[in-house]
Amino acid sequence: MPRRNDLHKILLIGSGPIVIGQACEFDYSGTQACKALRDEGYEVVLVNSNPATIMTDPDTADRTYIEPLTPEIVEKIIEKERPDALLPTMGGQTALNLAVALAKSGALEKYNVELIGAKLPAIEMAEDRKLFKEAMARIAVPVCPSGLATTLEESREVGRQIGSYPLIIRPAFTMGGTGGGIAYNQEEFEEIATSGIDASPVSQILIEKSLLGWKEYELEVMRDLADNVVIICSIENLDPMGVHTGDSITVAPAQTLTDKEYQRLRDASIKIIREIGVETGGSNIQFAVNPDTGDFIVIEMNPRVSRSSALASKA
């Protein structure tokens, strides 16, 4: 892709404070992004609230703000610096959430700042479970069968539609899984569904097919404005579904995928990044594969670099 000459100054949002040994991948990717942009001749303004990262070294960006990562503070920096563009995909969930808040408040439009990497509709489509599910239905990529319910009768109907146990029940707007659980039969299902509806402040539960024991894979995918898409690498979680990918050991490239399974995940990834609309840069797409049948579903997509991106760059 040719260099964009209409952009001169780019604001990059970091991921903020990190626990030692956690989230360092965003520090890594953000530092690389600053270097790459400056090498291309762009002026880079960085905002990050963590002074203990490599990213906030004086040599990394042309101007560095070590300030709280709140929409109000970042808007003041935009007002002062007047960047042409904002790159939100290098600072993890923190940067994405900030970019969404600034876009929705009208701050980006007010100061004529363009979101690059991922536009607002792409971020929202990837982050909002309902919109993501609808997008996957449009391109015929399977997702985990699920449904919402507000009464026990609705819960039974969703359970019938999914058609098999175990089922996972998650109450809406509760912390730490309060009132939810895994039901292995009808009796447990009705008991957990009832307690979940009671525990939810909006009396709503999400019922999902359980994927416990399915193998978990991730693909790092990149796209440019000319719609070229490349798979950077495949990554396999050593632990099956049920262990969060952040707590699992991951191996790159994937070790136990058959060539046919890999090609199916690859084709699905290319369809997904195009449908969601990430214009440039990397995305992380997570899949679950049934070890017995080879069936797969897409779990989620992060329209940004993730912990896997740092691993992929070393693989």
Per-domain residue ranges for the chain?
A: 9-116, 126-142+212-314, 146-209
Ramachandran area for residue 106 (φ above 0: left; ψ -120 to 50: alpha; else beta)? left
Give this prediction's pTM.
Answer: 0.78
CB 165 within 8 A of CB 188: no
Q: Do domains 126-142+212-314 and 146-209 have the same CATH topology?
A: no
Class of domain 126-142+212-314: alpha beta
Please give the pLDDT value at position 12: 94
* CATH code matching the domain that covers 9-116, chosen among 3.40.50.410, 3.20.20.80, 3.40.50.20, 3.40.640.10: 3.40.50.20
Question: What pLDDT was estimated at residue 133?
Answer: 87
What pLDDT is attached to residue 315?
58
pLDDT for 176 equals: 53
Give pLDDT tens digits along the chain (315 positions). Answer: 678 888 999 999 988 876 665 556 677 788 888 999 999 999 999 999 888 888 888 888 999 999 999 999 999 999 999 999 999 888 877 888 899 999 999 999 999 999 998 888 888 888 777 788 899 999 999 998 888 898 999 999 999 999 888 998 988 766 556 788 889 999 999 999 999 999 888 888 889 888 888 999 999 999 988 889 999 889 998 888 777 666 778 888 899 999 999 999 999 999 999 998 887 878 889 999 999 998 999 988 888 877 666 666 665
What's the CA dihedral at 249, 255, 261, 266 to 10 degrees?
A: 70
In this predicted structure, what is the pLDDT of residue 141? Answer: 95
Phi, psi of 306 (to 5 degrees): -135, -175
Topology of the domain covering 146-209: Dna Ligase; domain 1 (3.30.1490)
Per-residue confidence (pLDDT) for residue 38, from 0 to 100? 94
